[in-house]
Amino acid sequence: MKQTPAVNTLRPSACPGLLRIVQALDGGICRIKLAGGSITAAQAHAVADAAQAYAGGVIEATNRANLQIRGIGNEEGALIALLLAADLGPSNAAGDDVRNLMLSPSAGIDPQMLFDTRPLAEQILTTLQGHPRFHELSAKFAVQLDGGEDLAMLEHHHDLWLSAFVRNGQTLLAFGLAGCPGLDAPVAAVPLEQGHALVVAVLEAFLDLATPEQTRMRHLAVDKLLSRLSVPVLTADGFKRPASGALLHLGSYPQVQKNQFYVAALAPLGRLDATMLKGAAQLASDYGDGTLRFTPWQGVLLPYVEKPHAVTERLMQLGFLCSIDQPLARMTACTGSSGCGKALADTKADAVQLAALQVAHDVHLSGCPRSCAAAHTAPVTLLAVSPGHYDLYFRDAAQPGFGRLHAHALSIEATGALLRARPRSNTDD
């Protein structure tokens, strides 16, 4: 097991980690950062056991492909010890905050990938944890590595993103700052073999330039940072990230490996309990390679499956969403007033009610303007103004924030009627 220094060496932060339990209305929150979103079946059992023994049993799949345990009581030390024994912690305590590296859930198995990102990702994560200076980064500072997979979250903003493309027969990594490969143009590129050196150079330049108040890449001028890089860069001419495959985060799809499939499902509104997690882990052991991969869509992916239909059927029985035809599969919601003191409405209960009205739109329900559970703007956002009532916004590229305000203080019933009468093409830009 990794030796981890005492928890009290951690700096203060409002962001939960594995070693830092942050209090919420419904108890403590522990965030378990998964390398590449991946977890073994044995580790999944440990998370489920910890949630049952020392918390309220609620486990959340986050939109950064991590896991959270909610409702932690007084036995924080025992919960942390159980998770550390399962090798779910950082290599050292100070490195826990900065393990924010997101990959495609189909890394290494996607038929469209240009390279397997996992070895480079492991190298980057080792450096993030082991380089003391990088521990100065904000707990929210995040990096994305994209190998050209068809299954990829391309709309989540990152402080640094890298995306593979081929030019004149050479695989390059385009990179951008304070944005995402699906919406923003890269600033430059490097050869694939310089990927690790680039990440190190960008982070060092950022820390050289940033004041204590400048915690994120968006706070700095891009040109100034580029001029400080210690590695030579190329133009990103020819880069165009193909759109991610539609809805590949639900259902079963062939892998690049012959006769192998991955099966992907969603946890309803990002939540699962110990029975669901243990059930998925057992399926991974019985039908797959004994691993689970959590996804930025708040779901789970089981790789290396030969009998995808049997796995899908069992996931549905466990309570996972396996089809986009299920309205709840199109909805996300923050914790809401049941667990967060800032929320003005019980967003998760309201989302279930809205889904029951057969609304077929991609909707995010937010209990306050912070919009914690949405890493990018949804086609439809409901912003709570009072219990059971929301302002309704439609995403609009010309409008900041949630987009265009369409209606004020709607009930869930009124929202359902309005959205049912509106074609999806009118809300998806």
pLDDT at 11: 59
Please, are residues 269 and 351 in contact by the beta-carbon 8 Å criterion?
yes
The mean pLDDT value of the chain amounts to: 93
Confidence of residue 219 (pLDDT cuts 50, 70, 90): very high
Question: Any idea which residue has 């949804």 for tokens?
Answer: 378
Whole-angstrom distance, CA of residue 390 vs CA of residue 343: 12
Domain boundaries, the chain: 7-92, 114-147+154-226, 265-325, 328-426
- pLDDT class of 9 with cuts at 50, 70, 90: low
Rounded CA gap, 58 and 52, in Å?
A: 8
116 falls in which pLDDT band (50, 70, 90)? very high
What is the structure's pLDDT at 10?
A: 57
Class at the top of the CATH hierarchy for domain 114-147+154-226: alpha beta
- In CATH terms, the superfamily for domain 328-426 is Sulfite Reductase Hemoprotein, domain 1 (3.30.413.10)
At residue 423, the pLDDT reads 81
pLDDT at res. 247: 83
Confirm if 127 and 204 have CB atoms less than 8 A apart.
Answer: no
**Percentage of residues in the chain having pLDDT higher than 90:** 88
Residue pair 429/406 in contact (Cβ under 8 Å)? The answer is: no
Nearest CA to 295 out of 331, 253, 259, 267 is that of: 267
- pLDDT at position 427: 59
Q: What is the per-residue pLDDT for 245? A: 80
Confidence of residue 6 (pLDDT cuts 50, 70, 90): very low
Residue 424 has pLDDT above 80, yes or no: no
Which tens digits make up the pLDDT trace of 145-191? 999 999 999 999 999 999 999 999 999 999 999 999 998 999 999 99
The count of other CB atoms within 10 Å of the CB of residue 319 is: 15
- Residue carrying the six token digits 């809805």: 247
The DSSP call for residue 361 is S
The pLDDT score that the predictor gives to residue 12 is: 60
The residue to which tokens 């826990």 are assigned: 96
Please give the residue that has the higher pLDDT: either 360 or 171: 171
Residue 14 has pLDDT above 80, yes or no: no
pTM, rounded to two decimals: 0.93
List Cα–Cα distances, 289 to 84, 261, 405, in angstroms. Answer: 23, 11, 47
- Side chain identity, residue 267: A
CB 293 within 8 A of CB 37: yes
| Whole-number Å distance between alpha carbons of 393 and 156 | 19
Whether the predicted pLDDT of 7 surpasses 50: no
Mean pLDDT of 384-409: 95
SS3 373: coil
Q: Return d(Cα 13, Cα 64) in angstroms, integer.
A: 18
Mean pLDDT of 227-240: 95
Task: Detail the DSSP E strand segments found in 234-306.
Answer: 251-254, 261-266, 271-272, 291-295, 299-305
Higher pLDDT, 424 or 417: 417
Q: Residue 121: helix, strand or coil by DSSP?
A: helix
For residue 384, give both structure tokens.
Answer: 């709570």
CA distances from 144 to 68, 76, 177, 178, 360 (A): 20, 31, 10, 11, 30
Q: Are 220 and 210 in contact (CB under 8 A)?
A: yes
C-alpha–C-alpha distance, residues 206 and 73, integer Å: 38
* Separation of alpha carbons 152 and 296, rounded Å: 9
pLDDT tens string 27-52: 999 999 999 999 999 999 999 999 99
**DSSP conformation letters of 55-113:** S-SEEEE-TTS-EEEEEE-S-HHHHHHHHHHTT-S-SSGGGSTT--EE--TTTTT-TT-
pLDDT at res. 243:
87
Confidence of residue 5 (pLDDT cuts 50, 70, 90): very low
| Count of CB atoms situated within 10 Å of the CB of 192 | 17
- Compute the distance between CA of residue 4 and CA of residue 91 in angstroms, rounded to an integer: 6
Greatest Cα-to-Cα distance within the chain, rounded to the nearest angstrom: 59
**Dist. CA 181–CA 328, nearest whole Å:** 27
Structure confidence at residue 397 (pLDDT): 87
Instruction: Check whether 4 has a pLDDT greater than 50.
Output: no
Fold agreement (114-147+154-226, 328-426): yes
Q: What pLDDT shows up at residue 8?
A: 44
Both structure tokens of 35: 């390398």
